[in-house]
């Protein structure tokens, strides 16, 4: 669509302030506020991908409600920003399991689409297209490893969400391997 897309990888100990601005220093050592990918997208009318909203604390995620529902938010530096035309927010997350991160407040902020993982044959085709010079036998072994790990997780190999995340071979992890 000709829009710039900002990728914003989220992490568990982010605060609502961290979603909007970060503190840093300029060349003279003065403290300055810097916009995050989310704030830049809001201001410029771009798209932002919030990768990992399920990792955020519930209150941090809920802090996005004013921005998503009313199109404005107060920044930590004292300014208020309004959504610029064209702004879109795509959020990526794992579905809820033992951690029910989709609260009533969060459920109304987004339209939800569940995407199932690639089947083995689909994943082989995707990886072959992304890495055409890679040996197909190696790709198949990686896909088989993903399938075996998924099976192990399904049979109780992971006791916690963190252990599960460490065992899952996501497409991002597989691309790094390739």
Distance CA 117, CA 114 (A): 10
Residue 99 has pLDDT above 70, yes or no: no
3-state secondary structure of 34: strand
Distance CA 89, CA 133 (A): 34
Helix (H) or strand (E) holding 19: helix 16-20
Note the pLDDT tens digit of each residue in 124-169: 999 999 999 999 999 999 999 999 999 998 888 888 777 887 888 8
Q: What is the average per-residue pLDDT within 28-34? A: 93
Assess contact for 53 and 10: CB atoms under 8 A.
yes
Distance CA 101, CA 51 (A): 15
Q: What is the pLDDT of residue 165?
A: 78
Q: What is the average per-residue pLDDT within 114-119? A: 87
Tokens matching residue 115 = 């995407």
13 vs 100, residue with greater confidence: 13
Q: What is the pLDDT of residue 122?
A: 95
Note the pLDDT tens digit of each residue in 50-81: 998 988 888 888 888 888 888 999 999 999 99
């Amino acid at each position: 669509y000709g829009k710039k897309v900002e990728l914003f990888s989220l992490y568990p100990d982010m605060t609502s302030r961290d979603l909007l601005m970060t503190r840093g220093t300029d060349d003279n050592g003065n403290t300055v506020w810097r916009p995050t990918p989310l704030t830049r997208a809001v201001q410029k009318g771009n798209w932002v991908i919030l990768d990992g909203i399920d990792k955020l604390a519930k209150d941090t995620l809920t802090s996005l409600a004013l921005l998503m529902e009313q199109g404005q938010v107060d920044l930590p530096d004292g300014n208020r920003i309004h959504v610029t035309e064209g702004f879109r927010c795509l959020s990526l997350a794992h579905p809820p399991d033992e951690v029910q991160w989709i609260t009533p407040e969060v459920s109304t902020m987004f339209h939800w689409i569940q995407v199932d993982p690639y089947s083995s044959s689909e994943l082989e085709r995707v990886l072959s297209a992304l890495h055409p010079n890679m040996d197909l036998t190696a790709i198949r072994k990686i896909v088989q490893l993903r399938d075996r790990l998924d099976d192990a997780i399904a049979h109780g190999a992971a006791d916690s969400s963190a252990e599960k995340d460490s065992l899952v071979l996501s497409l991002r992890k597989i691309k790094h391997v390739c």
